[in-house]
Amino acid sequence: MGIALSRIIVDVGVAIWNSLVAPRNFYVGRPARQTDPNAHLACDEKWKSAVDGIKRSGDCYLVVGNGFLGRGIVRCLLERGETNIRVFDVAPSNVWQGNPHVTFIRGDVTKFEDISNACGGVQVVYSTYALIRFMDRLDFQASLSYRVNVGGMKTLLEAIKANSCERLIMTSTSNVCSDISRARPCLNLDESEPYTTPEVSPHHYAWTKAVSEQLVLKADGCKLANAHELQTVVVRPCGGLVGGNDGLTFSNVLDLGLVASHGSWTCDGFSAPMDYTYVDNVLLGHLLAEQALREGKPGIRGEAFNISNDDPLSLADLASLMQYHLRGLLSPQMRQRLVVRWICIPWWVMCPLTWSLETFKWLTRGRFKLPTHLDMVTPALLDQMNLGFTYSSQKARDRLGYAPVYTVDEAIQRSLHDYYRSHYPDKTA
């Protein structure tokens, strides 16, 4: 009763606030294209069909990065029967404890001894690690992103060469082409787009990943210690990587129960188009890229491939679809515990707030840590939300045989179920 009453109070408060400050059509989002509540279940068979031709290699694998995507890579390798997998991460959390086929190695990718020890006897390296700081653009903040994203990749490549690892599949990002100086929106971009630079990048993450990606592409064909050639390929998840436990987009919305956005700009963060790419579609892109390297397919080595749903959304679309599937497609238990509200934060509130918080960081030189959600509220994050860039995965379709397994609606349905299961494991959906 108390929870229900508090929810009503919050709902009324948000509604009153939005009625006072939100622009017209603030609530308008794309309608759902799939209304079957069990549409996502059919994707299980579609996934099996998509990966059916990707056979067990028997190689020794190293997955650098034990985050959202890295754990997905390990899961896929286990599902296809790989039995010799190493996971490398600086964080101590080992979700693979007790699995005889996975060895967890804690270490720092910027330290040669750490990563070289992990590379010994490895044939295939998946590099999924990154320092993702969409909110950082101040000069003093650049060194950390550069040390991890660029310095770490240089060290990893040295370790790969020294230990004669044969293949490297790098997870990059479509942000390597982000450019805040361009007129927007920029739609259906491909891999021929120029790399971003520190001068036009919205944040340090984008340009440091651009440098890192170029290092990997240029490393293709370099001589290993055993005189063989290194084979490299880059996979670019487009826009935002989303899923039930993504730790950023989907998780933050459901953790807070809010989608907050300013709503008065021509190409604002609520209406700007973007690729919200589902994690399993991205995993498929990685698996296909590895297979193509192994089989020696032409046009793969030293190339980058965009992976997206090929179905861009605005934040308004995403929020609208999440609300729709929460209201109509999930069990009463799930609807009781999960909520998504829209709240408009006008530009005359958002802009002074972001600049004030960034000024505080500049004055303190990062010596004082802000709470997580406040730490993200910066002009750089607003630039990211306002990019209005979308990407085509046609090259991956043509050369890798890629096709998204999950549609946007199916991805949202599955993500809601995954989030619910992980946060309420003792409840039945």
Query: CA 85, 88, 91, 97: dihedral to nearest 10 degrees?
Result: 20
Rounded to the nearest 5 percent, the helix, strand and coil shares of the chain are 45, 15, 40
State both tokens at 193: 């787009």
Residue 34's pLDDT band, with cuts at 50, 70 and 90, is confident
In angstroms, the CA 184 to CA 389 distance is 7
Residues above pLDDT 90, as percent of the chain: 63
The class (CATH top level) of 25-423 is alpha beta
CB contact burial 263-301 (16+ within 10 A = b; e otherwise): bbbebbbbbbbbbbbbbbbbbbbbbbbbbbbbeeeeebb
Residues 235-262, mean pLDDT to the nearest whole number? 83
Query: Is 401 strand, coil or helix?
Result: coil
Which H or E element spans position 242? Answer: strand 240-242
Q: Is the pLDDT of residue 327 over 60?
A: yes
Q: Which of 74-83, 84-93, 242-251 has the lowest mean pLDDT?
A: 242-251
Question: What is the structure's pLDDT at 334?
Answer: 74
* CB 310, CB 403: distance < 8 Å: no
Q: pLDDT at residue 117 above 60? A: yes
Radius of gyration of the chain (CA): 22
**Rounded CA gap, 288 and 59, in Å?**
16
Task: List, in sequence order, every residue forming a beta bridge with 235; answer none if it has no partner.
Answer: 171, 305
Strand partners, 276: 240
pLDDT for res 266: 35
pLDDT at 257 over 90: no
* pLDDT value of position 264: 40
The Cα 292–Cα 395 span in angstroms is 13
Q: How confident is the model at residue 265 (pLDDT cuts 50, 70, 90)?
A: very low
% of the chain exceeding 70 in pLDDT: 92
* DSSP for residue 167: E
Instruction: Label residue 276 by pLDDT band (50, 70, 90).
Output: very high
Helix (H, G, I), strand (E, B) or coil at 175: helix
What does the pLDDT average to over 33-43?
88
Q: What's the pLDDT score for residue 387?
A: 84
pLDDT tens-digit map of 365-388: 988 888 887 888 898 988 888 888
Give the whole-angstrom CA distance, residue 217 versus residue 232. 6
Residue 316 is predicted with a pLDDT of: 79
- Three-state DSSP at 9 gives helix
Q: What is the Cα–Cα distance from 357 to 379, expressed in whole angstroms? A: 9
Predicted confidence at residue 26, as pLDDT, reads 58
pTM assigned to the model: 0.92
pLDDT band at 332 (very low <50, low <70, confident <90, very high): confident
